[in-house]
Amino acid sequence: MDKQSSALAVTVAGVTFRNPVIAASGTFGFGREYAKVFDLSGLGGIALKGMTLKSRSGNPSPRVAETPSGMLNCIGLQNPGVEYFLKNELPFLQKQGTRLISNIAGDAPEDYAALAARLDGEPVDMLELNISCPNVKTGGMAFGVTCEGAAEVTRAVRAATKKPLCVKLSPNVTDIASIAQAVEDAGADALSLINTLLGMRIDIRTRRPILSNNVGGLSGPAVFPVALRCVWQVAKAVRIPVIGMGGIATWEDAVQMFLAGASAVQVGTATFTDPYAMLAIRDGLADYLETEHIAHISELTGQIRPN
């Protein structure tokens, strides 16, 4: 099967992706480094580095730590700000032949709304509302852990933009399905999940946390079972499409995400150990469809057979 065949094309919130494998925000920057390694048009899309109205320096080092089957980070939304992005990064990205998802963040609902309004007339295909980052002191995950907070930010952004709106959910909650329903009711067109789990490591010699922020976001294969569970619960609870992510490292992982209810997937930490991981996942999905005599990837979505 052609690895870029129509059997892999998916439409999420009115946006058609050439294939369902999307680079996850925060792990791919603005694509420049990976563009030196492979043709970015081979991806379904790129969820761009988390962006705010003004530039942010992020948290001080150390802000990355390895863990068994994963990693912790407390980058803290380091980014150059929206105006720099529009002037210096977007022209490059427009030439890459792939869909662009702007991941947006802020300290207050008004910040999110202003950023969404600024991007409304720009050539990005979708907004991803980051209400689930665990690595910033204000904003971020604070909005994503209650139905009221998540809905408030979603409503503010929905009123500020006509672009398709995807809301990225936190797993650091007791009932992720209820939060998903709240943002759906507030105007979200799609959901992406999960963001990182809150974790910690301690240096036993100094007795200090390894990360400067004390805690950080856990990602990688270790979180995959949690992510899969969350996608399954959310997909059953909402009518809008779900983009699954969290520890996906192989095409088999991606198939599980589709079966749990995802319409597309995002891949992040896996690219740090293998920059070609997303292309391998894309090709593995194509081969799986051919082997299983499945006409289109969407036929897998939600086809889990619960016990």
DSSP-assigned letter for residue 211? S
Comparing C-alpha atoms, which of 110, 122, 121 is closest to residue 159? 110
| DSSP state letters, 9-76 | -EEETTEEESSSEEEPTTSSTTSHHHHTTS-GGGSSEEEPPPB-SS-B--PPSP-EEEETTEEEE---
135 is in an annotated binding site: no
106 is in an annotated binding site: no
d(CA 182, CA 268): 26
- What is the helix (H) or strand (E) element at residue 147, kind and residue range? helix 147-160
Instruction: Report whether 130 belongs to an annotated binding site.
Output: yes
Q: In angstroms, how far is the first alpha carbon of the chain from the final one?
A: 33
3 state DSSP class of 285: helix
Residue 103 labelled as part of a binding site? yes
50 a known binding residue? yes
Q: Is 75 known as a binding-site position?
A: yes
Alpha-carbon distances, residue 239 vs 123, 155, 262, 280 (angstroms): 27, 18, 12, 30
Active site residue 166: no
194 is annotated as contributing to ligand binding: yes
Residue type, 135: N
One-letter identity of residue 179 = I
Residue 301, marked binder: no
Does the annotation flag 230 for ligand binding?
A: no
77 annotated ligand-binding residue: yes
Please count the residues of the chain.
307
Asked whether residue 69 is marked as a ligand-binding residue, the answer is no
Q: Which residues pair with 218 in a beta bridge?
A: 72, 197
Catalytic residue among 133, 147, 166, 230: 133
Phi, psi of 47 (to 5 degrees): -85, 110
Residues contributing to the annotated binding site: 25, 49-50, 73-77, 103, 130, 168, 194-196, 220, 246-247, 268-269
Catalytic positions, please? 133
Residues annotated as binding site for FMN?
25, 49-50, 103, 130, 168, 194, 220, 246-247, 268-269
Binding residues for substrate: 49, 73-77, 130, 195-196
